[in-house]
Amino acid sequence: MPRSLTEPERQAFLAEPRLGVLSVAADDGRPPTIVPVWHHYEPGGDLSFYSHARGRKTGLIERAGAVSFVVKDDAPPYKYVAVEGSLVRTDRPPSADQLAAIARRYLPEDQVQGYVAAELENDLVVYAIRPDRWLSADFGDEDA
């Protein structure tokens, strides 16, 4: 049976530059919306990510006021951290610094400023999510 990660382990894992998967409840009889997103997280803080301000996902997040979010290892031994969290802040439009904090986790530093400048031309929103509930598993420590 996999073990749950400790609080410091799960926070460190979420803080790594992994592609996250966001899920938010739908309001129209459809299943929840689920999409991959870049994110930013520092242990003990809020989880942040951005979206285009006029998309379906944005409306659902703002109506629901809560999301589920997961990051995982793609290769054995599998490990994941999932967060259920409440929307605590919406920044519309986001600052260049907010976008750079997210982008530099996924892009080489010499590409960050150009990427951010291009994204600031779009109608974006940055969300901050407070982790309310954590779920995690480490399948590499099944005998621990």
Report the distance separating Cα 111 and Cα 81, nearest Å: 29
Q: Which domains does the chain have, with CATH numbers?
A: 7-141 (2.30.110.10)
Residue whose pair of structure tokens reads 């009889």 in the numeric block:
29
Strands 79-91, 124-138: parallel, antiparallel or unpaired by DSSP? Answer: antiparallel
- Quick one: pLDDT at residue 143? 54
Largest CA distance in the chain: 51
- Residues 6 or more apart from 92 whose CB is under 8 A from it? 53, 124, 125, 126
- Quick one: pLDDT at residue 141? 67
Sheet holding 66-72, edge to edge: 33-37, 20-24, 66-72, 79-91, 124-138, 47-52
pTM of the model: 0.89
- Quick one: pLDDT at residue 75? 86
pLDDT of the chain, 144 residues: tens digit per residue? 889 999 999 999 999 999 999 999 997 788 899 999 999 999 999 999 999 988 889 999 999 999 999 999 988 889 999 999 999 999 999 999 999 999 999 999 999 999 999 999 999 999 999 999 999 999 986 554
- Quick one: pLDDT at residue 29? 83
Residue whose pair of structure tokens reads 């986001």 in the numeric block:
94
